[in-house]
Amino acid sequence: MSKQYVMGLDIGTTSAKAVIFTKHGDVVSEAEVGYATLHPAPGWCEQDPLEIEAAAIEAIHTAMTRSAIDKEAIISVGLSSAMHSLICVDAANTPLSPSITWADGRSAALADELRATDIGERIYLATGTPLHPMSPLLKLLWMQENKYEPYLKAAKFLSIKEFLTSRWFGEDAVDYSIASATGLFNIYTRQWHEEALSLASIRENQLSRPVPATHLFTGLDVDIAEQMRLDPNTPFVAGGSDGPLANLGIGAINPGETAITIGTSGAIRQMSAAPHTDSRQEVFCYAFTDDLWVLGGPTNNGGNVLEWLKNTIGHAELTAALETQQDPFDVLIDAANQVAPGADQLLFLPYLNGERAPHWDASARGAFIGLCSTHTSHHMARAGLEGVLYAILSVAESLEALTGETEKLYANGGFARSEIWVQMLADMFGREVHLPVSHQSSAWGAAWVSLYAVGEVTDLRAIKQSIPMKGVVVPDMEKHEVYRKMFEVFREMYGVVGGSVRKLQRV
């Protein structure tokens, strides 16, 4: 049988997704398996790495069997994962700790302290990783300060993707973009950063060998291969983190091409031919390949805001959805769309889970600004959806200060399934928004890197010819003018209420 399919395995924040594509980017099979997130203490966010491993294996198995894909038909598997996870393991790759995720906030006080120092600025300028509790560097500092037993006993420190590849292939290797997101990796030299390692009191041999995105993992464990329904000779390719791979998978590769992803959280990113960091420390810059870097900023709040709105003010919409067998989120967004842009001068700061870019403030909190007696739940829903996009626009301003103006806007992630929400994005940015057919852009980016690594395609940028696109959303410039004026107020509000929020938290 000829090898005709390629797989992307995406280890996300809440689930593992295996997607099987043709070489032209058409999805032929996919499967998703979720896993739990645990909060054993306030601000802590942990997952079971063995549960994630089982979910990844099951997702691949299900994707293979669901469409009766023969194992001999798979060319290669590309790997993608969420950033900033950290697991303490022993020499045999047995976990000594949970996987501590990007959302963990236990090191918030340490992050604030380090950000205010010269050494903190030097580490950011070299590594491109903002000083925030998401960073494995800060997690390690917390472990060191608190004499965390798994840290003291660890032979190695791995991300969730390294954990899987180390167990499946017996090789400790980490791609540049996952390494970059640790705060321990110099994005200019593409080597571990000695000053950061010294600060965390760890040795270079406790970390994996940095490798390019095209690095091949071969010799898949026979038992694991059988569980996956794959040939053990199937090459796996290192790929990268979900951010740059989403840009690649959506076609946002050239200067001025910007990708916006909104799932549970959100991000905006551009690829660059050179690294960029500056003393403002507002955006990240991560290495991807030897000649490509990704710049951007994540926001903690995206689809979680819609979930919160549904649960707090969306009771009528939830009831209507049950009666009509509709998706309650669609009903809530339809209700919000009954309100004019700007929600009748109502603003929502969407910082329900603190905020990352551009403020990097784990203590930030949400707020409605301008609420009055004429506002309804529909106004609040509209303001909530707009608030998520205003936060993305705030990051876009910081990003454009380093990379130049956005020329072409792409969107993917769960929010891209909503025509209304994407139209809001186009109107707010005043730009056309280009949408792919598949929302699995990170998986397709990973799959394409694997095709490049095994010689099936000639270069990474050629993916632009193999991305099935759904269409273009055109902005309404009259609505854009309303949003422009509202955003002028929004950008002031963090500074206005931030001090009061911090005082409130000390009451």
For residue 419, the domain's CATH number is: 3.30.420.40
Are residue 175 and residue 286 in the same domain, yes or no? yes
CA–CA distance, 445 with 247 (Å, rounded to integer): 8
Q: Mean pLDDT for each 10-residue chunk of the chain (507 residues)?
A: 89 95 95 97 96 98 97 97 97 98 94 93 96 96 98 98 98 98 96 98 98 97 98 98 94 92 90 88 92 92 94 92 91 96 98 92 93 97 97 94 89 90 97 91 96 95 92 96 98 91 87
Q: Under DSSP, is residue 91 helix (H, G, I), strand (E, B) or coil?
A: coil
Beta strand 87-89 pairing with 173-175? unpaired
Amino acid residing at 355: E
Which among 188, 161, 189, 154 is positioned nearest to 56, based on CA atoms? 161
Beta strand 216-217 pairing with 15-22? unpaired
Query: Residue 16 phi/psi, 5° resolution?
Result: -105, 130
pLDDT (tens digit per residue) in 411-429: 988 898 899 999 999 999 9
CA–CA distance, 500 with 8 (Å, rounded to integer): 45
Task: Give the model's pLDDT for residue 264.
Answer: 84
Are residue 174 and residue 292 in the same domain, yes or no? yes
Task: Tell whether 320 is covered by a domain.
Answer: no
Task: Tell whether 318 is covered by a domain.
Answer: no
Task: Tell whether 416 is covered by a domain.
Answer: yes
Q: Under DSSP, is residue 10 helix (H, G, I), strand (E, B) or coil?
A: strand
Are residue 114 and residue 258 in the same domain, yes or no? yes
Task: Tell whether 478 is covered by a domain.
Answer: yes
Are residue 57 and residue 203 in the same domain, yes or no? yes
Task: Give the model's pLDDT for residue 310.
Answer: 94
Are residue 31 and residue 72 in the same domain, yes or no? yes
Give CA angle at 141 (136, 142), nearest 5°. 95
Are residue 125 and residue 248 in the same domain, yes or no? yes
Are residue 232 and residue 353 in the same domain, yes or no? no
Amino acid residing at 157: F
Structural tokens at position 353: 């889970």
Residues near 497 by beta carbon (within 8 Å), at least 6 away in sequence: 349, 367, 369
Give all strands (DSSP E) within 187-311, no chain letters: 191-192, 209-211, 216-217, 236-241, 257-262, 266-272, 284-287, 293-299
Task: Give the model's pLDDT for residue 402.
Answer: 86
Q: Report how far Cα 133 is from the mean position of its chain's Cα atoms.
A: 15
Task: Tell whether 245 is covered by a domain.
Answer: yes
CA–CA distance, 43 with 100 (Å, rounded to integer): 11
Strand partners, 38: 46
Are residue 214 and residue 178 in the same domain, yes or no? yes
Task: Tell whether 308 is covered by a domain.
Answer: no
Amino acid residing at 406: T
Are residue 272 and residue 413 in the same domain, yes or no? no
Are residue 18 and residue 117 in the same domain, yes or no? yes
Give me the domain span that covers residue 96: 5-299+437-470
How many domains is the chain partitioned into structurally? 2
Are residue 283 and residue 431 in the same domain, yes or no? no
Q: Helices 136-145 and 108-115: crossing angle, nearest 10°?
A: 110
Task: Tell whether 394 is covered by a domain.
Answer: yes
Are residue 248 and residue 381 in the same domain, yes or no? no
Task: Tell whether 132 is covered by a domain.
Answer: yes
Task: Give the model's pLDDT for residue 1.
Answer: 58
